[in-house]
Amino acid sequence: MSNPQQLRYSKEHEWLSVAEDGVSTVGITEFAANALGDVVYAQLPAVGDTVTAGETCGELESTKSVSDLYAPVTGEVVEANQDVVDDPSLVNSAPFEGGWLFKVRVTDEPADLLSADEYTEFSGS
Amino acid sequence: MSSNAPRLTALDALHRSLGATMTDFAGWDMPLRYGSERDEHLAVRTRAGLFDLSHMGEITVTGPEAAALLNHALVGNIASVGVGRARYTMICREDGGILDDLIVYRLAENEYMVVANASNAQVVLDALTERAAGFDALVRDDRDAYALIAVQGPESPGILKSLTDADLDGLKYYAGLPGTVAGVPALIARTGYTGEDGFELFVAPSDAEKLWQALTDAGTPVGLVPCGLSCRDTLRLEAGMPLYGHELTTSLTPFDAGLGRVVKFEKEGDFVGRAALQEAASRAEENPPRVLVGLVAEGRRVPRAGFSVVADGKVIGEVTSGAPSPTLGKPIAMAYVDAAHAAPGTAGVGVDIRGSHEPYEVVALPFYKRQK
């Protein structure tokens, strides 16, 4: 598995895209999706919600367990991926693409986000 | 065991070459899933799945009084099991608490194989050994003597037939016969834990890879896939089958678990737990304890073991197993609930999922029954 070079990563296994007009896309990594197993339910933050870096903002439920979703940055949610709500298996089949979770207008980001290479080393993936 | 290192099955290298996600299960490193557990589950329901179950604990009991020993040590009437047949039964403590649920195969007039859950194999072995005192019978730990491979699902008879001359049509559900599969000596049993037709093959560990490969080759054209323990759990849950540590524990008797039918008071001789179980049986009749029911979600959040079942703001029970059901497409659970709320269709029942009360429908078990 390879972690796309253009993304940045949190230690809670979220990825964050380069901001366009101040808006970044957030998802979970392939490593995280594989660890979860089949995702069957995604509770995503709602449009207009403020999320805070490092705090929970939703949950992903898989066959075996439920996992908190952490916001990798602080900001206002401008879109949640309805396709994932309707078909959570997208998180498994395309974690870096169609399985993205939400878009956020970033107001603040932590200093410790990882590069692709750093995340690969961190996750052992 | 003195070492804490996980035990590996004879198929360990093969699982890794297939890219399995492994998990620790009762001290064994076992395949959790190879790809999508949902796809594995559906393959067993519609085609076939191949499982490594070598963690299960085989104990052989032999001797002129093997049957008498097992009748004394277990709650079932094991002496009445015909040669070549198998029986689902339990081993209880003197106070009636369930130590484990078991399948006992009668291999010969004076030879039985007891198959215990991996997590309880040592407990069962110790109890049988202790209870064998005074009987002309030998209890032998055969955990290392067998690998166990299961092929389950509607295509499994066809797959197995292509690899054996054994009379599979004459092999009924809960029967077992010695035979040869793909050139490998095997005890062929028509048992399983999936709610589908299928077979469990007990073979020497040194033959396990050869058998697995032959089953893979024969089954792949009809859709057989390797399956991990994750889908085994959702398959048994849909089939309403209890799992030790969840629906069955030492603090419950078989009557509390709705499985009083496995206790045979009418058998000859005394057996461990008889007096306590007789009391438990009357108690269950006069003043029913909680009842094991099925719950089907109206929403999409999944109940998990230990979650409270609620009605009118009060806790009326506890979830013992829960998972998203691939067949129903909804979350399902088994739960013990107060008898007043146990009837199918009882209104107003919910599960407390992290503080929010999600509505659930009470249904009779099982959730899924195969069309025969």
Predicted confidence (pLDDT) per residue in B13-49, tens digit: 999 999 999 999 999 999 999 999 999 999 999 999 9
Do B221 and B350 fall into the same domain?
no
Strands of the A56-62 sheet, one edge to the other:
A39-43, A56-62, A66-70
Instruction: Quote the domain boundaries for residue B150.
Output: 7-54+146-236
Interchain contact, B37 vs A38, CB within 8 Å: yes
Q: A38 in contact with B at a CB cutoff of 8 Å?
A: yes
- pLDDT value for B1: 45
Closest C-alpha to B359, from B314, B309, B323: B309
Is residue B188 predicted with pLDDT exceeding 80? yes
Q: Sorting pLDDT into bands at 50, 70 and 90, what band is A1? A: low
CA–CA distance, B237 with B239 (Å, rounded to integer): 5
Q: What percent of chain A has pLDDT over 90?
A: 92
Predicted confidence (pLDDT) per residue in B283-311, tens digit: 998 888 899 999 999 888 999 999 999 99
Interchain contact, B38 vs A66, CB within 8 Å: no
Do B45 and B170 fall into the same domain?
yes
Mean pLDDT of chain B: 96
- pLDDT value for B287: 87
Q: A37 in contact with B at a CB cutoff of 8 Å?
A: yes
- pLDDT value for A107: 96
Query: Would you say residue B268 lies in a domain?
Result: no
- Residue B347, token pair as written in the block: 């209104």
Contacts of B302 in chain A (CB under 8 A): 40-41, 61, 66
Chain B residue whose CA is closest to A40: B324
Q: A86 in contact with B at a CB cutoff of 8 Å?
A: no
Q: Sorting pLDDT into bands at 50, 70 and 90, what band is B180? A: very high
Mean pLDDT of B122-133: 98
Query: Would you say residue B211 lies in a domain?
Result: yes
Number of Cβ pairs closer than 8 Å across A and B?
40
Do B50 and B196 fall into the same domain?
yes
Residue with tokens 């010695």: B178
Q: Sorting pLDDT into bands at 50, 70 and 90, what band is B3? A: low
Do B361 and B295 fall into the same domain?
yes
Closest C-alpha to A66, from B353, B335, B328: B353
Do B150 and B46 fall into the same domain?
yes
Predicted confidence (pLDDT) per residue in B213-233, tens digit: 999 999 999 999 999 999 999
- pLDDT value for B300: 86
Interchain contact, A41 vs B301, CB within 8 Å: yes
> pTM for the full model?
0.92
Judge: domain A8-109, CATH 2.60.120.10.
no
What is the nearest CA distance from B139 to chain A, expressed in angstroms?
37
Mean pLDDT of A93-120: 96
Predicted confidence (pLDDT) per residue in B143-172, tens digit: 999 999 999 999 999 999 999 999 999 999
Contacts of A89 in chain B (CB under 8 A): 36, 38
Do B359 and B231 fall into the same domain?
no
Nearest-Å Rg of the Cα atoms of chain B is 21
Query: Would you say residue B78 lies in a domain?
Result: no
Query: Would you say residue B112 lies in a domain?
Result: no
Do B151 and B43 fall into the same domain?
yes
Exposed/middle/buried for residue A71 (C-beta within 10 Å: 0-12, 13-18, 19+) = buried
The CATH number of the domain holding residue B361 is: 2.40.30.110
Q: Of B206, B236, B266, which marks where a domain is finished?
A: B236
* B209 is known to lie in a ligand binding site: no
Interchain contact, A89 vs B234, CB within 8 Å: no
Predicted confidence (pLDDT) per residue in B307-337, tens digit: 999 999 999 999 999 999 999 999 999 999 9
Q: What percent of chain B has pLDDT over 70?
A: 99
Q: A125 in contact with B at a CB cutoff of 8 Å?
A: no
The total domain count for chain B is 2
CA–CA distance, B263 with B269 (Å, rounded to integer): 13
Do B364 and B218 fall into the same domain?
no
Beta bridge pairs of residue A104: A24, A77
Is residue B367 predicted with pLDDT exceeding 90? yes
Q: What percent of chain B has pLDDT over 90?
A: 94
- pLDDT value for B323: 96
Backbone phi, psi, residue B312, to 5°: 50, 40
The CATH number of the domain holding residue B38 is: 3.30.1360.120
Count CB neighbours of B1 within 10 A: 7
What is residue A15's three-state secondary structure? strand
Backbone phi, psi, residue B75, to 5°: -85, -15
CA–CA distance, B252 with B8 (Å, rounded to integer): 32
Do B227 and B294 fall into the same domain?
no
CA–CA distance, B122 with A36 (Å, rounded to integer): 31
Is residue B177 predicted with pLDDT exceeding 60? yes
Chain B residues whose C-beta is within 8 A of a chain A C-beta are 21, 32-33, 36-38, 230, 234, 300-302, 304, 323-324, 331, 354
- pLDDT value for B5: 87
Mean pLDDT of B165-194: 96
Mean pLDDT of A91-114: 96
Predicted confidence (pLDDT) per residue in B75-91, tens digit: 999 999 999 999 999 99
Chosen for mutation from B30, B42, B227, B230 (greatest number of chain A CBs closer than 10 Å) is B230
